[in-house]
Amino acid sequence: MAFSAVVLFIVLFSTFDENTLTYLGKINLSFLVLAIIMRFFSCGIWALRIKEMALSLGHRVPYPHCLNMVFANLLMGAITPGQAGGEPVRIHELYRAQVPVGDATAVVITERVFDAFVLVILGIISIIVMREMVYDLSIEILFAMGLALTLMIFFVIFIIFTAMKPEPTKRVVTRFLHWLYQKTKMHSVHQLISKSDQEIENFCNGVCMYAGHGRKGLFTGLFCTAGFWISEFMVASVIMMGLGLPPCIPESFLFQLIIATVSMIPLTPGASGIAELSATTLYALIIPSSILGIFILLWRVIMFYLNIVLGIVSSLIIFKREINPIEEIRSDALANELID
CB-based contact 232:260 (threshold 8 Å)? yes
Rounded to 5 degrees, φ, ψ at 60 are: -90, 110
Contacts of 241 (CB under 8 A, 6+ apart): 28, 31, 247
Q: Which pLDDT score is estimated for 256?
A: 87
Reduce the DSSP state of residue 82 to 3 states and report it.
Answer: coil
> What region, left, alpha or beta, does residue 271 occupy, with left being phi > 0 and alpha being psi -120 to 50 degrees?
left
Q: Which pLDDT score is estimated for 330?
A: 44
27-54 per-position pLDDT tens digit:
888 999 999 999 999 999 999 999 998 8
Q: How confident is the model at residue 338 (pLDDT cuts 50, 70, 90)?
A: very low
Residue 198: Cβ within 10 Å count? 12
Rounded to two decimals, what is the model's pTM?
A: 0.77
DSSP, res 269: B
Average pLDDT score over the chain = 78
Residue 251: Cβ within 10 Å count? 20
Work out the end-to-end distance of the chain between its first and last CA atoms, rounded to an integer number of angstroms: 49
Q: Residue 61's closest CA among 96, 28, 37, 34? A: 96
Q: Which pLDDT score is estimated for 266?
A: 61
**What are the CB-based long-range contacts (under 8 Å, 24+) for 188-191?**
none
96-145 per-position pLDDT tens digit:
888 887 788 888 888 888 888 888 888 778 778 777 777 766 676 677 66
Residue 291: pLDDT over 70: yes
Residue 25: pLDDT over 70: yes
